[in-house]
Amino acid sequence: MLTDTAGYVGIWFVPAYWITWSLKRRLTQPRIWFVKVARERKTLSWLAIAGVATFIIAVVAYFLVVSGSALAPIRGYFMFLFGAIIVGMAGAMAYWWLAKRWYAYAVLILLGVAAYQWLDFSLPFSFIIPGSVIILSGLVTLVRFLRKTPNK
C-alpha cells in the first residue's frame, strides 16, 4: 500500500533531520563567517515568488489529473510535465544563484523523468539515480568547502 511506504519515509525523516542539523552546527556554521558571497547573485525574493508560483501550478495540475478533469495529453504525460516543472525550478535556481551545477541537476532530473515516461524505466529508479548523483555532487562540494575554509 502507498500509505505504508509513506510511513517508512516519515520514520526516516526524523533521525535524518537531527543528524543533518547536528552536522550543520559542527561543520558549516563555525566556518560560515569566512565565506565570501558573490555580489552579483540575484535577490532571493524573485526566487521565492517563482518557487511559490511553480508550486501552485504543480498542485493545480496534480489535482486536475487525479480528479480526471485534465485533458488526455496532460494525463498521459503528467510525470514528464511534472518533471519539467521541477527542471524549470532547478534552472531558475541555477540562474539566480549563479550555480552552474544546478543546470546539470536539471538535465539529470529531465533524463530520469524522460526515461520513466518513454523507456519504461521504473519510477523509483528514475528518481534514485539522479538523486544519488546530486547527493554525491553535494558531498564533493561540502568536502571542497571544508578544505577551503578550515575551522579556526
For the segment 23-42, what is each residue's pLDDT rounded down to a tens digit? 777 777 666 666 665 555 55
Q: What is the mean pLDDT of residues 47-74?
A: 74
For the segment 9-19, what is each residue's pLDDT rounded down to a tens digit? 667 777 888 88
Give pLDDT, residue 4.
Answer: 57
In the chain, the percentage of residues whose pLDDT exceeds 90 is: 8
d(CA 19, CA 39): 32
Greatest mean pLDDT range, 19-23, 35-39, 148-152: 19-23
For the segment 76-120, what is each residue's pLDDT rounded down to a tens digit? 777 788 888 888 888 887 887 778 888 999 999 999 988 888 888
Give pLDDT, residue 63.
Answer: 76
Give pLDDT, residue 85.
Answer: 83
The answer to whether residue 136 scores a pLDDT higher than 90 is yes
Residue pair 106/90 in contact (Cβ under 8 Å)? The answer is: yes
The mean of the pLDDT values for the chain is 77
Give pLDDT, residue 101.
Answer: 87
Give pLDDT, residue 1.
Answer: 46
Give the distance, in angstroms, between the CA of residue 47 and the centroid of all CA atoms in the same chain: 14
